[in-house]
Amino acid sequence: MHSPGLWQALRAPRYLRGPWPWRSAAYLLSGVCVGLATLVSLLLLAVVGGALAVVVVGIPLLLMSALAGIPLAAMERRRLRLVDPVVLPDPHREPDGTGLAAWVRVRLKEPNTWRELGYALLCAFVLWPLEALALGTVLGLCGGLLSTPVVMATVGGGEEVRVMKIWLADSYPQAFAAALAGALLLPVLAYPLGVVAAGRAALARQLLSSRDATVDSRIQELGRSRMRLVDAFEAERRRIERDLHDGAQQRLVALSMTLGLARLENSGEPLGGLLAKAHDEASTALVEIRELIRGIHPQVLTDRGLKDAVEDVADRSTVPVDVRFELPGRLPEAVETAVYFAVCEALANVAKHSGAGRAEVCGRIAGGELVVEVRDDGAGGADFSGGSGLQGVADRISVLDGHLAVASPVGGPTEFRVRIPCPPARAATDTAAAPGTTTAPASRTATRTRI
Amino acid sequence: MLRIVLAEDSVLLRDGLTGLLERFGHKVVAGAGTADELIATVTEHRPDIVVTDVRMPPGFSDEGLRAALELRERRPELPVLVLSQYVQRAYAEELLDSSDGTGVGYLLKERIGHVEEFVDAVRRVAEGATVVDPEVVRQLLRHRRDPLSRLTPREQEVLALMAEGRSNAAVAAALHVGEGTVSKHFGSILTKLDLSLTDATNRRVLAVLAYLRG
């Protein structure tokens, strides 16, 4: 399962004129450097770690050597771009919490980590010598032939030179003939060099990608259908909100108004007392329906976007909340909605369980991702394993290829972090987006970058 | 008697409101069902006050509010009473920021039921008063908390010493901490007081001023 790029280029007649021979050479040369560096680091880690294991300090070093495949694999995935235009996705899972310990725990459990360690050992002990051999042969052969006249003029004193230490050339015409042969050989050898590089890249791709392409495509399809479900759910939510708003709420207002007028006309007992009671009940129903509608889908989120909607939630929180958002404008609707409900859940948890005196919500775009953090100064130690609300939030976010991490050490603070890939925001002038324009297609495709 | 333009897309409610207002001796000169209609009718009838819903066709978003803001921009003294289904700080703030905030009102629709209160609010807005729903006021007040209260006790101490004109080193000495700690506290004070990162020297003065005011 190799991707086009170098393989196609090798078959094309323009191969030699294009960048591919150079890319192949660069790929192999950098491979030698990386392989050597890996060998040295692995040996150093093993030796130093082994020696220090007696005094315990070495054990983390040995652990590090078990994880040594991860940075190498990351670099190899980048280096692969030299000869292979198809991006190789990172097969690792996101850790469930923040901090180094959570990361190490997840990594040690993943088969990919161990496969990458195997790859590192292969690089360090087998691959780089082979790459060096291939490069060395081509460069040595062509370089040796090409330099014959120079060597003859300098070392040979203009008399004689041994070409490739095999034939003896004793005249300049012979020496130049050897150089010419070298010049002709170089393009010829560029092909095997390309093949070696392509083979090496295919091996790297095979070893470093996740296992099964059919499984991958099924996962993709599942992801898409999950996205459709969430969209449908969201559309339904809006419909309910609208029906309540335009129907029941308006009628209740009208009813309350009529009752209010009736009270003016009949202030005397006994009807007046009954009317007053009915009026109060209508008012209570109105307050309840207002809160219900807001919980289903807040209008301010559609009208003004995430920042205003989060400020609104913060205003209602019993714990004082500082909101700091640095957003370039409106974000895709699906992202705004998911993050809004995530923040609501986080702030509800802060209010209910943390005992915090203050909380903070920060949001910003960093590296193509929307990062939103909710922190509090409470006692921490929250157990989120049984919380269905939080699980729902995590599911919603993962549909958008995002990630939710919660850290709540005993003694606090509790930190809640959402990261969602976020395509460039729509223009700020677009803030008056009409409701009913459910998830824009752009947000659907653009957020599906990782599988 | 007030001449009123009423914008409300629900016919039921529009008729009800018209009846209500007329019972108190006012005249609804025109009703509007969309935001565009509202702007057109107001231009035509030049009423004493506009009463409008926030959510209006065609988008069922905040068209009514936007139309009200546009009308206020054209005629800053035009009294506008906005009826809303939600307690929404953002909407109320925009309305209060339009021209100088006189002759505007932001009421929850529920308030209509309290008939006399509502009609009184219409009259007061028409006379140039500012009327904001008690629920919204509660939220506005909660939002405008004293920024100094965001500071931790230690940060307040640091700021207090700075207000006495001490340098970072002097503050550090007074609190028996390192100078690095003091500048860290100061950085966090600036963030909490929303002071921008543009001019370091002025920010110290601004922070101290905020302290002295608070």
Instruction: Please answer whether residues A247 and B12 qualify as being in contact, where contact means their C-beta atoms are separated by less than 8 angstroms.
Output: no
Pick from B18, B61, B108 the residue to mutate for testing the A interface (most A CBs within 10 Å): B61
Identify the top-confidence range among A223-237, A275-289, A317-331, B92-106: A275-289
State residue A277's pLDDT score: 92
Structure tokens that stand for A96 in this block: 């469930």
Name the band, by pLDDT with cuts 50, 70 and 90, for residue B91.
confident
Q: Which chain B residues have a beta carbon less than 8 Å from that of A245? A: 55, 85
Using DSSP bridges, classify how beta strands A161-163 and A167-169 pair: parallel, antiparallel or unpaired. Answer: antiparallel
Q: Are A242 and B20 inside 8 Å of each other by CB?
A: no
Alpha-helical regions (H) of B24-126: 35-45, 63-74, 89-97, 115-126
Residue of chain A whose Cα is closest to the Cα of B93: A308
State residue A288's pLDDT score: 93
| Residue whose pair of structure tokens reads 């101290």 in the numeric block | B208
Which of A253, A257, A436 lies closest to B115 in CB terms?
Answer: A257
State residue B184's pLDDT score: 86
Average pLDDT of chain A is 82
Alpha-helical regions (H) of A209-321: 213-243, 250-265, 271-296, 299-304, 306-316
**Phi and psi angles of residue A398, each rounded to the nearest 5 degrees, phi first:** -70, -25
Identify the top-confidence range among A263-277, A344-358, B35-49, B130-144: B35-49
State residue A411's pLDDT score: 81
- How far B163 CA sits from the closest chain A CA (Å)? 25
- Flag the least confident range among A119-123, A420-424, B49-53, B176-180: A420-424
Give residue-wise pLDDT tens across range A62-80.
787 888 888 888 889 889 8
State residue A387's pLDDT score: 62
> Has residue A240 got a pLDDT over 60?
yes
> Has residue A213 got a pLDDT over 80?
no
Residue of chain B whose Cα is closest to the Cα of A299: B61
Residues ≥6 apart with Cβ < 8 Å to B74? none
Name the band, by pLDDT with cuts 50, 70 and 90, for residue A362.
very high
Q: Which chain B residues have a beta carbon less than 8 Å from that of A303? A: 61-62
Residue of chain B whose Cα is closest to the Cα of A377: B152
> Once rounded to an integer, what is the mean pLDDT over residues B112-138?
89
Structure tokens that stand for A260 in this block: 């209010």
Q: Which residues pair with A420 in a beta bridge?
A: A370
> Once rounded to an integer, what is the mean pLDDT over residues A348-364?
87
Percent of chain B scored above 70 by pLDDT? Answer: 86
Give residue-wise pLDDT tens across range A173-211.
888 888 888 888 888 888 888 889 989 888 888 888 766
Q: Which residue has better confidence, A353 or A123?
A: A123
Q: Which chain B residues have a beta carbon less than 8 Å from that of A434? A: 58-61
> Once rounded to an integer, what is the mean pLDDT over residues A263-267?
84
> Has residue A430 got a pLDDT over 50?
no
Q: Are B112 and A320 inside 8 Å of each other by CB?
A: no
- How far A287 CA sits from the closest chain B CA (Å)? 8
> Has residue A49 got a pLDDT over 70?
yes
Name the band, by pLDDT with cuts 50, 70 and 90, for residue A396.
confident
> Once rounded to an integer, what is the mean pLDDT over residues A102-107?
84
From CA A300, how far away is CA A2, in angstroms rounded? 50
Q: Are A257 and B112 inside 8 Å of each other by CB?
A: yes
From CA A281, how far away is CA A276, in angstroms rounded? 9
Q: Write out residues 397-426 of A within 8 Å (CB-CB) of B.
A: none
Q: Are B60 and A242 inside 8 Å of each other by CB?
A: yes
**Phi and psi angles of residue B7, each rounded to the nearest 5 degrees, phi first:** -110, 115
State residue A436's pLDDT score: 37
Q: Which residues pair with A322 in a beta bridge?
A: A360
What SS3 state is found at B152? coil
Give residue-wise pLDDT tens across range B150-173.
777 788 888 888 877 788 888 888
State residue A424's pLDDT score: 61
**Residue A229 CB neighbours (<10 A):** 11
Does the global pTM surpass 0.90?
A: no
Q: Are B90 and A300 inside 8 Å of each other by CB?
A: yes
Average pLDDT of chain B is 85
Query: Does the CB of A436 have a partner CB in chain B at under 8 Å?
Result: yes
Using DSSP bridges, classify how beta strands B49-53 and B3-7 pair: parallel, antiparallel or unpaired. Answer: parallel
> Has residue A2 got a pLDDT over 60?
no
From CA A277, how far away is CA A262, in angstroms rounded? 12
State residue B145's pLDDT score: 59
> Has residue A412 got a pLDDT over 60?
yes
- How far A402 CA sits from the closest chain B CA (Å)? 28
Name the band, by pLDDT with cuts 50, 70 and 90, for residue A12.
confident
Residue of chain A whose Cα is closest to the Cα of B146: A320
Q: Which chain A residues have a beta carbon less than 8 Å from that of B34? A: none
Q: Are B16 and A358 inside 8 Å of each other by CB?
A: no
Q: Are B113 and A246 inside 8 Å of each other by CB?
A: no
Q: Are A322 and B150 inside 8 Å of each other by CB?
A: yes
Which of B10, B61, B142 lies closest to A432 in CB terms?
Answer: B61
From CA B72, how far away is CA B79, in angstroms rounded? 8
Give residue-wise pLDDT tens across range A302-321.
888 999 999 889 888 888 88
From CA B103, how far away is CA B79, in angstroms rounded? 5
Is the sign of the CA dihedral A209, A211, A212, A215 positive or negative?
A: negative
